[in-house]
Amino acid sequence: MTGSHAGEIEVGDGRATVSGEISTAQAPSVVARRPLFELLSDAGSGGVTLVSAPAGSGKTVLLRSWIEGAGLDDRTAWVSIERGERDAKRFWLALIEELRAAVGADAFVEKLAPSPDFDGESVVGRLLSELGSLDEPVLLVIDDLHELGSPEALAQLEVLLARLPPLLRVVLATRHDPQLGLHRLRLAGRLTEIRASDLSFTLEETRTLLAASGVALGDENISLLHGRTEGWAAGLRLAAISLAGHPEPGRLVAEFSGSERTVADYLLAEVLARQPENVRRLLLRTSVAERMNGALADVLVGDSGSERTLQALEETGAFVVSLDASRSWFRYHHLFADLLRLELRRSDPQAVEGLHRAAAEWYSEHGYVVDAVRHAQAARDWRFATRLLADHSFSLSLNGQGATIGVLLAAFPADALSDPELAAVFASCKLASGSLDDAAAYIALAERNASAVRGEPRRRLDVTLAVARLLLARRRGDFGSVLDEVKSLLGPADAQTLTDVELGNDVRALALMNLGIVELWSFRFEEAAHHLEKGLELARRIGRPYVEIGCLGHLALLAGLRSFALSRERCDEAIAIAEAQGWASEPITWVALALRCGDDVWRGSFEEAEHWLARAERALRPDIEPATGLVLHLARGMVHVGRHQLERALVEFRAAEELQTLLVAPHALSVHVHLFLVHTLVRLDDVEGARATLARMDEEHRDCGEAHAARASVHLADGDPQAAIDALTAVLNGSASVVHISSVIQALLLDAVAREQLGQTQTAESDIERALELAEPDGLIFPFVMTPPHDLLERHQPHRTAHASLLQDILDVLAGSSLPARADEPQQLRENLSEGQLRVLRFLPSNLSAPEIGNELYLSVNTVKTHMRHIYAKLGVHRRTEAVERARELGLLRPSSRHR
């Protein structure tokens, strides 16, 4: 490359020179280290290579030169860990993106979407499943692993390494051994190790490096330099740059001291002193940034052409490391960067804060919020840092960077908390971690100081605080206290309000979802449906699957009040989205999972219900909110009833009732808790306990249909069938409202028992038939299990009912059976396979690889892989074997096929 301004670096054939008045030394060439290359190549797929050595040992240069020489560039995923990385989600996002680039975006590795919650185990499990379908070897290099400070990410990486697919090879480059249980890999013979002693340049390699760099030294001085540097790669490379063209290279070698740090300090001064002014200025002023590209460097330097200079410096292999395949983003060697910053503070201390401020503004303008906040903090511009974090905290949270927000907050000084906008961010962070009292304190602090904020920022602060109060109210079960306030911000005037305060769609979508959830638990079902639907629509429009799943799950609960079929459809949609994103065990998915459990309980499929219940439990956090816990205990209790384990069911129903006391307002499902608790106590002959439970019911629930049914159950236990009939009249004539049709079914069953005891056999039979009629559309079994009129059902012979099949299922369940899960309709594809996809599908049961299938069909391997990816997506699977099985279920493949 050549340029027009003096001092520009020119690169060609491994040589760096400078056109203009001053000339730099020839760049040290990369020495072909054949024994290490052979060691790396001999470690095959399915294993792990550890390259562990101190800074500057040449780990990165070795790996990059080996990859290039072995022709592995196209199948290598290179992940460089950022300095001080503590965010597990960001680590896995980067790793998966690099893997996708290595295997092809249309191949097996699905994109990991951002979310506020993160389940690393699910991500690793999905990744292992996807990589198990590879048909060509892939190399994954994780560079600077020592910078990964997330225990969760390391634990998840350990799982990946322990279960590596056969065609995946992993290389770990680090300054010290990571806590990854590598001893197990070592004992299994799956670990190749390259240490500092292996990386140290031999005397002969030192001679080769110096000669290639144009440095003429006698054997004695070469030996002295090798001894003083102890073969340290970075020291030798820096020495080669300083020695090239030096008038007295022998004297320079003699003046070297022995330690790594001392050598680096000395060479830093020598290198900087010998660089052209524009290169020296670039090195010092860009050292404030952990990573940079040409545009940012131009801003910091106040000149143009920085990208060409950075690329030329990267060619030397001693200063700069490229972070992407296009060589547009760079970072300095960490040790070198530290020394550059030290020199900048020594030579131009007044410039440091201004450079950080300029970097903060550039990162902010280009959407790199986290980097912008960090530089604003380094510039001690707390106002700008607060503004950035306040404006973007919701979006960062939805992107799964909650841990990063916590780190950024910790960097603010204590007196910055007086800023109400920062206090509001602290409140949201505490809410996410379950520290409700701390969250309330920060909300109160922000409210006290809110008068200091004016104009549009004040409107934004009001919205942020309203959403924070809403989330706090939801976690505490105080469902009614903030509904009107939040609705005033998101109601009929929301478009104008949101435009005025520039409220981001992320905040609005999150607010709509949580508003709908709070309204749902507050019996405001129509309002809840309205806001959840709006939240769902917005989430789909702006691409926020996290909010989409949350809205779908709670809309499924609302739908279940009318139709279990519609509820199942929404649950399945939410779960499918979650699984596609790798969030199958994240908290946002628990509602849909719990409802699928409930659906199978209502239909008598208790084994399947236990499966969904276990998945729902895995998706919950330890700091479970009372409303969530109530639903979970209710679901567990129902499963125990279905298994005829009444004592265990009683424990769960009582736990649900206890959680109700932690809620400021009654929960929408608390009526079912009391109804099931009373019925269970009566069946366990604890009539006094049932009566006491009735007495504890909230006043506003005592006239609902479920309360009437509960009282009828106690009257029957007391031997007063007429009182039971009287209590049920309001339910059966429709004057008492019920949460769900199942409560009417239970009322009919209780009425049938009471009528039978009074000798009103025909009315009792009519009640049974009516109960079966109401249960038939959704195949409801559970009401008959909770209130089992065995004799009446046994006598209700098939020829006297229009619901013989349902009746037989009920009798089977009462006898101890668990019905198999039932589909509502034959399984169908959401989108038909194309003709090309069908042709590829027919080869999937064979043993042919993707290239071999391409040969058979005269298609390129990329076309075959694209067809396979679309087949997997349309079939809702992730692996080839799963695709074959699913296709056979759908009749797209014959039950058995001949293997080719």
Q: Is 106 in the same domain as 160?
A: yes
- Is 808 inside a domain boundary? yes
The CATH number of residue 187's host domain is 3.40.50.300
- Is 352 inside a domain boundary? no
pLDDT value of position 758: 93
| Residue-wise burial string across 237-265, b where 16 or more C-beta atoms lie within 10 A, e elsewhere | bbbbbbbbebeebeebbeebeeebeebbe
- Hey, what amino acid is at 151? P
Q: Is 671 in the same domain as 741?
A: yes
Q: Is 183 in the same domain as 237?
A: no
Q: Give me the helix-helix angle, 455-476 and 436-448, nearest 10°.
A: 150
In this structure, the strands spanning 329-332 and 320-322 are: antiparallel
Q: Is 133 in the same domain as 180?
A: yes
DSSP, collapsed to helix, strand or coil, labels residue 3 as: coil
- The answer to whether the CB of 194 falls within 8 A of the CB of 52 is yes
Q: Is 164 in the same domain as 136?
A: yes
Q: Is 73 in the same domain as 174?
A: yes
In this structure, the strands spanning 168-174 and 48-52 are: parallel
Q: Is 118 in the same domain as 62?
A: yes
DSSP secondary structure letters along 392-422: HHHHHHHTT-HHHHHHHHHTS-GGGGGSHHH
Report d(CA 284, CA 292) in Å as an integer.
13
Instruction: Specify the DSSP element, H or E, that contains 531.
Output: helix 525-542
CA dihedral 698, 704, 707, 708 (to 10 degrees): 150
- Is 852 inside a domain boundary? yes
Residue 64's φ and ψ, nearest 5 degrees, are -65, -40
Residue 779's φ and ψ, nearest 5 degrees, are 60, 40
Q: Is 756 in the same domain as 640?
A: yes
The CATH number of residue 635's host domain is 1.25.40.10
At 563-597, the pLDDT tens digits run 777 888 888 889 888 887 777 777 888 888 988 88
At 208-254, the pLDDT tens digits run 888 887 888 888 888 888 876 777 777 787 777 777 777 777 777 77
Q: Is 794 in the same domain as 647?
A: yes
Report d(CA 260, CA 275) in Å as an integer.
22
Tokens of 799: 């020829």
Last residue of a domain, one of 173, 198, 223: 198
Report d(CA 793, CA 789) in Å as an integer.
6
In this structure, the strands spanning 329-332 and 292-293 are: antiparallel
Report d(CA 225, CA 241) in Å as an integer.
13
- Is 329 inside a domain boundary? no
Number of domains the chain is built from = 4
pLDDT value of position 899: 34
Residue 74: other Cβ atoms inside 10 A:
10
- The answer to whether the CB of 867 falls within 8 A of the CB of 837 is yes
- Hey, what amino acid is at 639? V
Q: Is 639 in the same domain as 784?
A: yes
- The answer to whether the CB of 432 falls within 8 A of the CB of 475 is no
The list of the chain residues with pLDDT below 50 reads 1-27, 257-260, 492-502, 823-826, 896-900
- Is 526 inside a domain boundary? no
pLDDT value of position 324: 74
Q: Which ranges in 644-789 belong to alpha helices (H)?
A: 646-660, 670-683, 687-695, 705-717, 721-732, 741-757, 761-775, 782-786
- Is 308 inside a domain boundary? no
Residue 621: other Cβ atoms inside 10 A:
13
What is the separation of C-alpha 590 from the centre of its chain, rounded to a whole number of angstroms?
Answer: 14
- The answer to whether the CB of 673 falls within 8 A of the CB of 653 is yes
Report d(CA 210, CA 870) in Å as an integer.
54
Report d(CA 759, CA 749) in Å as an integer.
15
Please give the residue range of the domain that contains residue 68: 34-198
Cα within 13 Å of Cα(484), Cβ side:
2
Last residue of a domain, one of 143, 165, 198: 198
The CATH number of residue 855's host domain is 1.10.10.10
Q: Is 183 in the same domain as 223?
A: no
Report d(CA 393, CA 879) in Å as an integer.
37
Tell me the longest C-alpha to C-alpha distance in the chain.
120
Last residue of a domain, one of 251, 266, 281: 266
- Is 825 inside a domain boundary? no
Report d(CA 84, CA 42) in Å as an integer.
33
Report d(CA 464, CA 713) in Å as an integer.
48
Report d(CA 44, CA 352) in Å as an integer.
48
Residue 319: other Cβ atoms inside 10 A:
21
pLDDT value of position 259: 41
Q: Is 142 in the same domain as 237?
A: no
* Of the candidates 233, 234, 241, 250, the residue with the CA atom closest to the CA atom of residue 275: 241
- Rg (C-alpha) for the chain, rounded Å, is 34
* Of the candidates 466, 471, 518, the residue with the CA atom closest to the CA atom of residue 490: 466
Alpha carbon separation from 184 to 145, 169, 181, 409 (Å, rounded): 19, 17, 6, 39
- Is 638 inside a domain boundary? yes
